[in-house]
Amino acid sequence: MIKLSIVALSYNTKDLTLACLKSVVSQYKQKLEKKEFEVIVVDNNSSDNSVAEISNLKSQVSNLIIIQNKENLGFGKGCNLGAKSAKGKYVLFLNSDTQVFDKGFLSMIDFLDKNSNVAVLGGKLENNDGSIQRSCGKFYNLFNLLIMLLGLERFGFLRSSPNKIQKVDWVSGACMMVRADIFEKLTGFDEKLFMYMEDMEICFRANKLGFVTYFYPNVKLKHKSLGSSNRTFAIINIYKGILYFYSKHKTHLEYLVAKLFLITKAGILILVGLLTFNSELRGRYQKAISENL
């Protein structure tokens, strides 16, 4: 019986993906050989020869499945395709720009086995320099959204990385373990979100249905942020994700206020870009407004 299906999304991150997969094999080779674990790589039409290189790992990973898309479907839709092929009791969504340094997934599985009320479990993430990434947080109500837009998340507001196992609002999709049956009940990630906000959004829907999300710190993972995107792309899609989240889950008035917050921040940073001759900053937020507002 397959206990865990590890789903990794790949898009022009050949070296990162290979490093990620090799780190998984180094820690869980026995589980893979015994067919207790499986690895599913979903490639979003990479142009860097990713599929051919990843295919070479099949000699090391007997339980490796590769799904090759003909276009870039984004994070949510790509992960959903991987989950549809998964046979495990639990599905672990693992970013291709992560590396695994211990057998912490086993203790995550054990925790879920013993706590049937927990549907989603997120793991602790570290930066390459060993510093801790704040990989869980609070839902973005209007007050929290304002805190985020003011840049206060970096100081420990909203986002955190607790030292103990505890209930949280949402966890990062870079390392998210979900009960397969509940993921199916939730109909997976919202495919209208191309990238960013999909982890918070699915945890929000799970919470509305009475399911619980926990953070699990007893795992060692390193995560290279923006492995397959850039800052401008991230800002545009974060803006898009926030607006979609508010249009789907909040009142129209809350949506309008959130929109005003986004316009105000973008306007201020466009002005700062003009005054400081920072064309990159100016252009980034001009695109965020033109494509979303």
Q: Which of 137, 55, 38 is nearest to 94 (CA)?
A: 38
Per-residue pLDDT, 293: 77
User: Which residues, listed in sequence order, are joined to residue 175 by a DSSP beta bridge?
Assistant: 94
Q: Which of 135, 139, 120 is nearest to 186 (CA)?
A: 120
Per-residue pLDDT, 154: 80
Per-residue pLDDT, 229: 52
Per-residue pLDDT, 226: 54
Furthest C-alpha separation in the chain: 62
Burial 129-160 (b: 16+ CB within 10 A, else e): eeeebbbbbbbbeeebbbbbbeeebeeebbbb
| CA distances to 24, 40, 216, 246 from 29, in Å | 8, 15, 23, 43
Q: Which of 76, 87, 77, 81 is nearest to 66 (CA)?
A: 81
pTM of the predicted model over 0.75: yes
pLDDT, tens digit only, all 293 positions of the chain:
899 999 999 999 999 999 999 999 999 999 999 999 999 999 999 999 989 999 998 888 778 999 999 999 999 999 999 999 999 999 999 999 999 999 999 999 999 999 999 999 999 999 988 899 999 999 999 999 999 999 988 888 899 999 999 999 999 999 999 999 999 999 999 999 999 999 999 999 999 999 999 999 999 999 987 544 588 999 999 999 999 999 999 999 999 999 999 999 999 999 999 999 999 999 999 999 998 87
Q: How far is Cα 258 from Cα 53, in angstroms, rounded to an integer?
A: 44
Per-residue pLDDT, 197: 95
Neighbours of 290 (CB within 10 A): 10
Per-residue pLDDT, 227: 47
CATH superfamily of 4-223: Spore Coat Polysaccharide Biosynthesis Protein SpsA; Chain A (3.90.550.10)
